[in-house]
Structures are given as structure tokens and as C-alpha cells.
Amino acid sequence: MTTFFRRLLYSGLWLSVGGLLIACGGTPTPAPAAVTVFGAGTPTQAVNVPTANVVAVTPTGPAAPLATTSPTLVPAYGPDSFPANVNPLTGEGVDPAKLNRIPVAIKISNFPYSVRPQFGLSLADVVFEHSAEAGLTRFTAIFLQNDAAKVGSIRSARFVDTEIAPIFQAALVTSGSSAGTMQHLRENAWFAGANVWRLISEESRYVCPPLCREKPDDTNTLFADTTALRTATAASGGQQRAALSGWAFNAKAPAGGVALTTLLVNFSVAAHVEWRYDAASGRYARWQEKDSSGEMVQHADALNNTNISAANVVLLFVNHQNNFIPEDYRDGGNCGLEIQLWTLGPANLFRDGQMYEGRWRRDATTKWQLWLEDNAGQRMALKPGNTWFDLVALNTRTAQNGATFTANNRVVDTKTECPVAPPETPTPEGFVPPFETPTAMP
């Protein structure tokens, strides 16, 4: 974390949004518009992205390559416009037909250990990895250019999905949600009113297809086919091109990086991630604990037996706090987290065996899209390819030892004062028996 943000954090200025933006040389940004707030949770903005903003993008023609010190020209795209055949989420050239549809954001489980290996993660354009509660992690995977015949297992949404899905103008795919989280989603303009079709879940009465549960009494056996998801949403607007921009891509690594080949992210005592850079492929292989023994193994995709890797790994430092919404009824219960992915915070970009320090920004000036900037305020260039975002708390402790960078997340207490009593007969969250309501939501 940069010295700038450390000073803000330990001086107690972080929670003053206006002061923070002024310190960055900008103008104060108003606090996000409030929606329903639960307990002591901080208001989350109701992101208003009207349907009119989801329009066909006029082709801009090939982007001009950036000259380098060598005679070879390297492709560079974004952040403000992209050729019709370049994916604004990966910087890669694809069939334009793949881009003439909105992304789908699929909620994927990572705990218990029995849900591993998951299906379809290797085919996502972007994956957000975040704490859910009690130090355990969950994924939100964004699919646009690739399709996957089986994705999951799919689990319930969390507060952070009211931020992630609108960033990508995506349909959100979940198994359901706790009552509090579902209300939080429904209060968000992206899922409200005529836009409710963007929330694809058993609780909103979608059935098989596109959501298929293999075992009716098992919460970890819900899966989806991305093609079936798109078919289910086509009539409502799922076949419109999303107006995505904000990220820059350059095949050449920028100057100013620090040579680091390993990133360790310790989300908690139970959740550990290791990213190992492979110079031959130019990618980062993802490793995580095999089980409670802590043995690290390479993370594989059960769909195609491919080891999961990323062209870019981005560590986002974001304020986390208890939202006091019961999410877990085991061992006395745990509440969920509000991960405040708005305004700005520190960010570390890992690409090509280098680490680049900067910041993330998401506010009215970015139209609530997520931008990555260097410390001079210029957009950081991602390597063309997929990106994984690891979200850790703002007060996460970091250390560099040789070629290894370590982030030790500070786990928020989601148990104390969580207003939950174990039910007499536990019911899977958001569970609807298959085919009980045979008509999917229009």
C-alpha cells in the first residue's frame, strides 16, 4: 500500500470522502445515493444505468498502435473506445457477435472444500474474489467473450454484487439470497422495476434451464450453461451490446514496475491464495489450499481440466464492514460484509512478473465504472487477457520479501452482535425446489 494511502488510513481521514478527493488533487465527490440500509451498514449507491445507455457501439476502426523503443509496434486499446472486434474487458480481438450481448456475472462458491474444483472459471473474462463472511471467500465471474457449458456451483449473492454487476452492466446469476441481501439488490436501480430480469436466480423463479440443480437437497449443486442464460434473457435485452469502457490495454509492460513473481493473499486463517508467475507463458497460475491441512495445490477447472491462470492479477484495498445481515447459521451464525467498492483506494497491478502501485477509482466521474490509475492519475495498462481481482480490507498488512509480495487481510468480525438464532429446521438459502414453479420469469 502506498505511503499516501497509509497516512490517510492511520490518520483517520479515510472515511471523509471529500477530504480524500481533495488530497488527491480532485474535487469532492458527493456520497453515493442511499438505498435501504441495514443496521449499521453504510449506504450503497443505487447505480442508475438506464436502458438507453445499453446501446450498439459504433465501430471506431483499428486503434493506433503505440510506438516503442524497438521497431516492433504493440497493440494498445482503450480506455475510452475500442474497435468493434476488441473486447473492452480483455483487450483481445474476438468475433464482434460475442460482444453484441450483455455480460453475465455468475456467483460461484469456493467453500466448503467439496465444491472444488469449480466448473467454468477458466473461461471468465474477469473474476472478483472476495470475502463473504467468517473469513471464507466467494467469486463473481464475468462472462462475455467465452461461453461455458457448465458453470458453478452457483451460490447466493452478497452485498458487493450490487456494485460488481452494474460496473459491467451485467445480468447477475445466483442461487438466491438472504432476505436482507435480496432486498438490497431489489433497491438497486440495476435490478429494480423493468430491470428485474437482470437478477437470474431460483428465488426470482428461474428454473431449468437455465438454472439446473443436480441434487434437490444439496445447496452446492446448482449449475448453469451461459448459452442457456443468454437465451433466457434475450427477449428482455440480453442481446444488446453493453457500453463498456474505462480500461486500458497494452501488450508491452509499462516502465516503473517492481520485479515480483509471487503474490500471496491470506484472506483468513482458512483461505489462502498464491499467484505464481510463469515467465514462459507470461501468466499467473492460481494456487489455493487443498483442505484444512493448508497444503497448496494448483487450482483447476473441472469443465476442461485446465489449470486456472490470469494475465493480470489486481489487488484492491477496499473498506470492509459488517452489514449485520445474517448469512450463515452455523456455529451461532455470521453476518455478511459491506465491501465499499466506491470512491477510491489503493490498488496493486501484477502483470508480466512486475508489480505496479496505483489506485482504483469508482465514482460519478467514472460513471460508476471501475478505473485503475497510477499514482499520477493516468490509466494503468492491463495486459491483454483475463483479469482476477482480489479484494482485501483497507487495513490489510502487506510485506515484500525478495520476489514475493504478501497481503495479510484483516478479517472483519461478522459474528459479534449478528442478530441471528439458528433455525429449528435449516433451509438452504434462496432454495426453491426444482420445477415447483415451472414458468420462468419473463
CATH number at residue 48: 3.50.90.10
Residues 129 and 253 in one domain: yes
Q: Give the Cα separation of 335 and 356 in Å (integer).
A: 34
Residues 5 and 123 in one domain: no
Q: Give the Cα separation of 429 and 218 in Å (integer).
A: 11
Residue 425 lies in a domain: no
pLDDT, one tens digit for every residue, the chain (442 residues): 554 444 444 344 343 333 333 333 333 333 333 322 222 233 333 333 332 332 233 333 333 333 334 445 667 898 998 999 999 999 999 999 999 888 999 999 999 999 999 999 999 999 999 999 888 999 999 999 999 999 999 999 999 999 999 999 999 999 988 888 888 988 888 888 888 888 998 877 788 889 999 998 888 999 999 999 988 888 887 777 888 989 999 999 999 999 999 999 999 999 999 999 999 999 999 999 998 888 999 999 999 999 999 999 999 999 999 999 898 887 778 999 999 999 999 999 999 999 999 999 999 999 999 999 999 999 999 999 999 999 999 999 999 999 999 999 999 999 888 987 655 544 444 444 443 333 333 3
Residue 193 lies in a domain: yes
Q: Give the Cα separation of 423 and 256 in Å (integer).
A: 55
Residues 4 and 113 in one domain: no
The pLDDT score that the predictor gives to residue 35 is 28
Residues 99 and 13 in one domain: no
Residues 147 and 8 in one domain: no
Residue 418 lies in a domain: no
Residue 323 lies in a domain: yes
Give one word for 27, left, alpha or beta, with left for phi > 0 and alpha for psi -120 to 50.
beta
C-alpha cell of 295?
Answer: 497444503
DSSP reduced 3-state for 318:
strand
Give the list of residues 6+ apart from residue 262 with CB closer than 8 angstroms, or none: 274, 275, 276, 277, 403, 404, 405
Domain boundaries, position 102: 34-408
The pLDDT score that the predictor gives to residue 216 is 84
Judge residue 425's burial from the number of C-beta atoms within 10 Å of its C-beta, 0-12 exposed, 13-18 middle, 19 or more buried: exposed
Residue 417 lies in a domain: no
- Strands, E, within 256-362: which ranges? 258-259, 262-266, 272-278, 283-289, 296-298, 300-301, 306-307, 309-310, 312-318, 320-328, 334-339, 343-351, 354-362
Residues 56 and 169 in one domain: yes
Q: Give the Cα separation of 419 and 432 in Å (integer).
A: 24
Instruction: Please tell me the pTM assigned to this model.
Output: 0.80
Domain count, the chain: 2
Residues 213 and 254 in one domain: yes
Residue 413 lies in a domain: no
Residue 25 lies in a domain: yes
Residues 140 and 170 in one domain: yes
Pair 20, 14: CB distance under 8 Å: yes
The pLDDT score that the predictor gives to residue 15 is 39
Closest CA to 366 of 127, 99, 29, 8: 29
Q: Give the Cα separation of 203 and 430 in Å (integer).
A: 6
Residues 201 and 160 in one domain: yes
The pLDDT score that the predictor gives to residue 393 is 95
Residues 58 and 12 in one domain: no
Residues 9 and 38 in one domain: no
Residue 421 lies in a domain: no
Residues 53 and 139 in one domain: yes
SS (H, E, C) 20-38: HHHHCCCCCCCCCCCCCCC
